[in-house]
Structure 1
């Protein structure tokens, strides 16, 4: 029932004019319900308690001593408790005085860490341990998350409802990805298996395992044509799987340590892999033949990515980003500027820029043609950037700051910080844009996945779900 109410609020707000005098109050109530929707679903009698402990603290006089001004200061109207219009706390007082309200409830004596009307709009809770990986479905309607609790969970990205819990792995689920048509989910686990799931109903479609014993799966990726999966393992091998027969097409041998990252070329013909053995290797996706070995890194390779045209590969290692000719393996450029290990690299959608995140706490934006470093993005108060990602249109970048519990959105041209996404209670390890660029999804060690409005920074949902 509570999820129906969430949908009703969404429908009303969509139909209501932006300047309607009651829209602000309704939007705040909608946000408050979304924050605790999974808890209310499990404990319906706490509905008023949850509303009170979030909404009353929005604009009551007592709240002034608890909240600092947001980044950039308050709007021209001033802080909520100085608003001369209808007050949310007065509405809650009226509801509390209704004769029909007889149930016992717990009143919080302090406001929530994240004020209502701020950047956080909702939390998706369900995992009982840290979240390892998140991904949007290609149509942006679903989110899948994987966790140290050995499960995957599929969520409705709009109404925050948990659609399915995918059980079967017996260890951390390290990596997760959607097929390009969105119909299947693939997951890789420390239990040594890769599992294929139906994205709609959550049914287990296949378990991919081999006779090589218990080795850990570090990374997985789906081919653009949806026919194959590539996976990187702790036994130094890359394995390519046929999704029709669920068999291994090829075992790519050559790495001398764990394979930390894998990627398909845009045309499906090549696979790139990065390893702790300090090399990047390129393989023929059909035959499994090793086509090139890129050497030159003095430290482990943590991340690899293809350029959109497939001509170049970039890799992150130590404090540098390297660009390689994808065919010959020739080193084309070394981008220097970081002073600690590079943890994540990515191309802009148009291929003109490269972004890199590092344990030095900075994100750097490079000109892919000249190697010039036009912008350095600083703001995370940690010594590690765990993930960087471009929006589909290339205009924005989102970064995960690891232990500072924050994700940030930046203008990719100017480097201006557009939004600070606060709400997680543990380190933020992964971030990504939705396919339409309107949403950001983040995952954290606090066991939650959160969805944000990419434009305003508002939190739209917190994925918690039911604990079984």
Structure 2
């Protein structure tokens, strides 16, 4: 799957529908939202927009896709036809987009000029929308650019990162639960920034990717700092967890995806060099975003070379097929006996 600009293009975002049947993508340079069929990669439709698309997402029912872009607009698009149904204009470019796990809330986060111009006022907000009516149901003041948003598994709170800050907000009251700041690099303090964030599926931990290759780990419920790691020395653009929370993935300005076992990442008795990389997957180009489907068996990746790639994630238990076969055989025999 690829955008029409080829290697001159860049796919900024790619995400599975909840049933894993489709992948929606958003690009820069050709500024296009596309929906592909997962089974064979056939493009279902494409809709070109006026500006660079930063993030795309599905609604929970799969009937709509949503895009946010540099022209300050969030658009709600018919997932079957590509027709833009609604557009909401904001006061700044929009960088982030996330759907709550129950599918009722879409959160979008603005950019802030303060990140590049310290003399300007920090202005970025995160705005929450009801996905049935598309009415605004609340907003929080983030200050720094809201680069990425991640909801807790129970949707009780969401974490937002960008600039020097990570903030966790209560979903119902929009009150601040906790916040943390990036550790400043003494040589290049202006480039010490949080880039991406994901709460683990089990709800226990938060991983944050930052400049210079740093991965930060926190306890999700309290924001308590655990440690940070660095395996590449270059910007981390995207992070993800496997569905069982046993591995954390990171990628960005180095052409690999690194898998690190969660138990090793959180073991503070291991120094940075001693933390092993469980798997290092080579890539065709820098990675902008990655997303597991609901089961955790498929991974889609969005690349700066204009490609969208589909991967299978195989279990690391070599006996899983034998166990599955034995279970299926027993079930078939029981069904036969009942007949």
Of residues 167, 178, 181 in structure 2, which corresponds to 1:333? Answer: 178
Q: TM-score, normalised by structure 1?
A: 0.54
Q: Quote how far apart the aligned CAs of 1:379 are.
A: 2.0
Separation of aligned partners in 1, 2:142 and 2:78 = 33
Q: Distance in 1 between matches of 2:310 and 2:78?
A: 33
Is residue 2:155 matched to residue 1:321?
no
2:201 corresponds, among 344, 349, 374, to: 349
Q: Is the partner of 1:351 in helix, strand or coil? A: coil
Partner-residue secondary structure (3-state), 1:417 = coil
Computing the radius of gyration from Cα coordinates, the structure with the larger value is 1
Cα gap change, 1:184 to 1:417, in 2 (>3 Å): same
- 1:196 alignment partner in structure 2: 35
Does residue 380 of structure 1 match 2:219?
A: no
How many residue pairs get aligned? The number is 287
Instruction: Report Cα offsets for 1:226-281 as digits up to 9, x if no partner.
Output: 1111110221111112335644343233x322211111111221110112132211
**Residue 227 (str. 1) matches residue 63 (str. 2):** yes
Structure 1 residue corresponding to 2:99, chosen from 260, 264, 272: 264
Structure 1 position 305, deviation (Å): 1.5
- In structure 1, the residue matched to 2:18 is 180
> Where does residue 307 of structure 1 map in the other structure?
152
Distance 1:148 1:206 in 2: 13
Distance 1:199 1:445, change over 3 A: closer
Structure 2: gaps spanning 5 or more residues:
113-123, 185-191, 266-274, 318-339
**How far is 1:377 from its partner?**
2.1
Q: Using the alignment, how far apart are the partners of 1:313 and 1:146 within structure 2? A: 32
Q: Give the root-mean-square deviation of aligned CA atoms.
A: 3.2
Q: How do 1:9-48 residues align onto structure 2 when only pairs under 5 Å count? A: none
Unaligned runs of 5+ in 1: 1-144, 152-169, 457-468
Report whether the alignment pairs 1:411 with 2:256: no
CA shift in 2, pair 1:240/1:338, >3 Å: farther
8 Å CA contact retained: 1:338, 1:360: no
2:72 paired residue number: 236
Question: Quick one: distance in 1 between partners of 2:276 and 2:40?
Answer: 39
Would the aligned equivalents of 1:146 and 1:176 in 2 still touch at CA under 8 Å? no
8 Å contact kept, 1:438–1:455 = no
1:49-448 equivalences in 2 (<5 Å): 146=2, 149-150=5-6, 172-190=10-28, 191-208=30-47, 214-244=50-80, 246-253=82-89, 255-277=90-112, 278-297=124-143, 299-339=144-184, 340-382=192-234, 384-403=235-254, 405-415=255-265, 416-419=275-278, 421=280, 423-424=282-283, 426-431=285-290
The answer to whether the Cα contact below 8 Å between 1:338 and 1:358 also exists between their aligned partners in 2 is: no
